[in-house]
């Protein structure tokens, strides 16, 4: 069926040309801004009327590669924090999304609003209070504390994605698995998980990237001790060192692009299961 649809779609040259233009525009829009970044990162000096940098230099990349720059440890921190946040969001998002997507209960609208609240209310509004609390709990200046506070703006996205997935999910398929002799755990592993996996991947992507690009929450709770890539990036941008800033930007972009490439097959509408495969 999917194959049929595809062949129908590409049947006239006219639509094919439109497709090429659209795809070209998207790819161009994403890739073009990266070109000046690359140019900046290898330039010695680059001033206004020049189309290309007049003098090239490997200084920025050499600096980033050197242990002095702390780029490697910032990269590790960023990955660790974003990984932790994503794992926590998956663990919390599945049951929360299931409850919101499948159950009807009293006060559900209020719960939904409360879960969305961190997206509506800026994190800064509550971070001072959280800061005080975290000082008492000895969570400030720690990686764990930063990860915890990163959940604030990211978890709502995970729950939203998962509740959408479960809203399209037919629970009877679990009953079918029980009836065929699968216990609860094996039903989850063999039936539920494959059904909701695309949702988990999509939600994780959101969460990972939100945590990855977090600056203010990291600085406030990390207190300058927990250095992540955005923290370094802001420092160099503020210092006006364009070459190092551009090189850091590329390092910052790389994991995001890589993740997108590896998960893209789950993100296309044709993976079908996007919505929990109940009603295809």
Partner 1 sequence: MSSVMLQRLSHNYSGSPLPAVDSIDFSIQKGELVSLLGPSGCGKTTTLKLIAGLLKPTSGEIYFDDSKVTNVKPEHREAVMVFQNYLLFPFMSIEENVGFGLRMRRLNKREIAGRVRQMLDLMGLEDLKDRKPSQLSGGQQQRAALARALVLQPKVLLLDEPLSNLDAHLRDEMRELILSIQRSLGVTTIFVTHDQEEAVLLADRIALMFDGKIQQIGKSKLFYEKPASRRIASFFGNNNFLTGFKERGWVTSNVGKFRIQSEAADGPVTLVIRPESILLGDQGINSFTAPVKRQIYMGTHNRYRIEVDGADWEVIAPADSHVSLEGGRVPFSLPPEKIWVMPEQRN
The overall longest dimension of the chain from CA atoms, in Å, is 73
Secondary structure (3-state) at 63:
helix
Residues 233-272 that bind partner 1 (CB under 8 A): 272
7, 13, 103, 179: which one binds partner 1 (CB under 8 A): 179
Shortest Å, Cβ 139 to partner 1: 41
DSSP 228: -
Residue (138 or 279) nearer to partner 1, CB = 279
45, 176, 264, 268: which one binds partner 1 (CB under 8 A): 176
d(CA 223, CA 201): 31
Instruction: Return the beta strands (E) in the chain as ranges.
Output: 43-45, 55-56
Q: Is 116 exposed, middle or buried (0-12, 13-18, 19+ CB in 10 A)?
A: middle
Is 102 one of the binding residues for partner 1 (CB under 8 A)? no
Residue (257 or 280) nearer to partner 1, CB = 280
Count CB-CB contacts under 10 A for residue 85. Answer: 28
Is 103 one of the binding residues for partner 1 (CB under 8 A)? no
Identify the H or E element spanning 264.
Answer: helix 242-267
CB 100 within 8 Å of CB 159: yes
What is the per-residue binding string for partner 1 in 193-222, x denoting contact by CB under 8 A?
A: -xx---------------------------
Residues 145-174 that bind partner 1 (CB under 8 A): 170, 172-173
Count CB-CB contacts under 10 A for residue 192. Answer: 20
Is 6 one of the binding residues for partner 1 (CB under 8 A)? no
Is 45 one of the binding residues for partner 1 (CB under 8 A)? no
11, 31, 180, 238: which one binds partner 1 (CB under 8 A): 180
182, 219, 256, 259: which one binds partner 1 (CB under 8 A): 182
Is 10 one of the binding residues for partner 1 (CB under 8 A)? no
As given in the structure block, the two tokens for residue 26 are 């998207």
Shortest Å, Cβ 148 to partner 1: 35
d(CA 74, CA 82): 12
Total residues binding partner 1 (CB under 8 A): 22
As given in the structure block, the two tokens for residue 67 are 């242990």
Site residues for partner 1 per CB under 8 A:
1, 170, 172-173, 175-183, 186, 190-191, 194-195, 272-273, 277, 280
């Amino acid at each position: 069926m999917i194959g049929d649809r595809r062949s129908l779609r590409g049947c006239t040259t006219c639509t094919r040309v439109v497709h090429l233009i659209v795809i070209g525009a998207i790819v161009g829009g994403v890739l073009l801004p990266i070109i000046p970044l690359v140019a900046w990162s290898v330039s010695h000096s680059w001033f206004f009327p020049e189309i290309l940098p007049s003098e090239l230099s490997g200084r920025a990349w050499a600096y980033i590669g050197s242990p002095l720059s702390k780029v490697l440890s910032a990269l590790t921190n960023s990955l660790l924090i974003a990984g932790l946040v994503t794992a926590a969001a998956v663990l919390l998002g599945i049951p929360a999304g299931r409850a919101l997507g499948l159950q009807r209960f009293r006060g559900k609208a209020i719960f939904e609003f409360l879960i969305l609240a961190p997206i509506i209310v800026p994190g800064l509004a509550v971070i001072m209070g959280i800061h005080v609390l975290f000082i008492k709990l000895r969570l400030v200046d720690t990686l764990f504390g930063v990860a915890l506070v990163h959940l604030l703006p990211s978890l709502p996205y995970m729950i939203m994605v998962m509740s959408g997935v479960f809203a399209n999910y037919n629970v009877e398929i679990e009953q079918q698995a029980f009836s065929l002799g699968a216990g609860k755990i094996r039903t989850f592993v063999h039936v539920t998980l494959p059904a909701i996996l695309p949702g988990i991947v999509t939600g994780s992507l959101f969460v990972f990237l939100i945590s990855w690009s977090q600056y203010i929450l990291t600085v406030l709770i990390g207190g300058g001790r927990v250095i992540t890539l955005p923290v370094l990036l802001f420092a160099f941008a503020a210092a006006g060192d364009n070459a190092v800033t551009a090189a850091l930007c590329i390092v910052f972009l790389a994991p995001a692009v890589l993740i997108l490439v590896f998960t893209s097959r789950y993100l296309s509408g044709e993976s079908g299961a996007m919505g929990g495969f109940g009603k295809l």
